[in-house]
Structure 1
Amino acid sequence: MNGIVHFETFILAGLLLNLTPGNDTIFILSRSIAQGKKAGIISVLGITTGSLVHTLLAAFGLSIVIAKSLFVFNIIKFAGAAYLFYVGFKMLTDRSPLNTENSSLSKEINLMKIYRDAVITNVLNPKVAMFFIAFLPQFINPAVNNTVIPFLTLGITFTITGMLWCLMLANFAALIFSGLRNNKKISGYINKACGTILVGLGMKIALTSRT
């Protein structure tokens, strides 16, 4: 199949890996809990976009630079950590209500910002790049000369299965916490808790090593 071997095994392994909570899952759940269903879905789309970027990088060999160069790895790592710190700090210090219903324009801007945050945090996570170049080649026939198509096929398949799982998580988290977000006092605590989680996630990425 276009240079791919053991495709069924790949799908099964991909599903199991998607079920394992990671940085992307934490980000999506934080947004869903704090800002609702739309924010969660937009976060999923942003993470999905980031995964597609990593797929393209892996397919054309650019991710190898991240794996081979400690300097590049650290630059990307600390940039991603700093951005998560920024997003988390903004949530910690934000005094506005979680459900901004003032106008369609403000909601649109907020959703675009959430999408941007999700894309950046995923793209600037070097561990994701290293995962793609370590995991995908195991299911590509070494005799194939052009590995771009197999890389793209496997990467897109993994991304789609992950997107479907994360959409379910986002909807579930938003549903569970929907009533709490309407309580102004509790919503403030939720916002701060989610901000703290994102700051912690930034610390986790900052302390990540290549091994």
Structure 2
Amino acid sequence: MVDPITLMTFVPAALALNLTPGADMMFCLGQGVKSGPRAAWLASAGIATGGMIHVLLAGAGLSAVVASMPLAFDVIRWVGVAYLLWLAFGALRGASQTDDAMEPPRGHAFRAGLLVNLTNPKVILFVLAFVPQFVDPSAGPVLAQFAVFGAVIGLGGFVINGLVGVFAGSLGHRLARGSRVLDWITAGIFTALAARLAVLEKA
């Protein structure tokens, strides 16, 4: 069981990290601009789920193995780059389709958020550097402690990233729905995220 004092120390630290602009927040912003609040919340839920998976893998020791293997690190990174560029291409291609066709299939935003988070090796490094500082092996099962901390990070990230996406969606609705401007904005965000991931170096 996680010590209450440790948990009280972890929560504000986790919220501060959730509030720091990053790839997850920008992705939800892009989803909100392109497809509205519902897509933003689904994307945020996918990202939160991915973050929880990362934390549990770290607790199981698998993330440490991946982080120590440069080839695995690079494979994950380039898969993420390719996926983000594919999303950017899809955003531009959507401009030539009808409004009905442009609506993302149910669950698409969730899957996209999940994959973007899971293919970002920087999350692996962050989890390995941050979460273990609060884990106390003498306090009980380590994996259970990781799960608690992962839930805190996931919940905070879900709310904050979702609200960012909702705000972006409200701005998007002020423009003509399906306008070429929204497509270029969304594609630009995804391309910038891909470029950021492409130049990421393992610490």
TM-score by length of 2: 0.91
Aligned counterpart, 2:94 = 94
CA drift of 1:181 comes to 3.7
Q: How does 1:43-62 map to 2 (within 5 A)?
A: 43-62=43-62
Amino acid at match of 1:69: M
Contact 2:172/2:182 (8 A) holds in 1 = no
Could you tell me which runs of 5 or more consecutive residues in structure 2 were left unpaired when the two chains were aligned.
none
Q: Distance in 2 between matches of 1:2 and 1:11?
A: 12
1:145 deviates by 6.5
For 1:114 and 1:31, locate their aligned partners in 2 and report how far apart those are by CA, in whole Å.
Answer: 7
Residues 116 and 197 of structure 1: CA distance in aligned 2, closer, same or farther (over 3 Å): same
| 1:138 lines up with 2:130 in the alignment | no
Alignment match, 2:119? 124
Single out whichever of 152-161 and 134-143 deviates more from structure 2.
134-143
Q: Is the 8 A contact 1:28 1:170 kept in 2?
A: yes
- 1 CA distance for matches of 2:95 and 2:165? 24
Amino acid at match of 1:90: G
Matched, 1:16 2:16: yes
Equivalent of 1:149, from 144, 154, 161? Answer: 144
Q: Where in structure 1 are there 5+ consecutive unaligned residues?
A: none
* 2:92/2:187 contact within 8 Å kept: yes
| TM-score, normalised with respect to structure 1 | 0.88
Deviations 1:8-43 (A, max 9, x none): 121111111111100000100011011111111111
Residue 110 (str. 1) matches residue 105 (str. 2): yes
Instruction: Decide whether the 8 Å contact of 2:92 with 2:184 is kept in 1.
Output: yes
Deviation at 1:65, TM superposition (A): 1.4
> Residues 140-185 of structure 1, C-alpha deviation per residue, up to 9 Å, x if partnerless?
1254573111111111111111111122212211112212143x5x
- The answer to whether the 8 A contact 2:6-2:134 is kept is yes
Q: What CA distance in whole angstroms lies between the structure 1 residues aligned with 2:5 and 2:198?
A: 35
Contact 2:44 2:157 in 1 (8 A): no
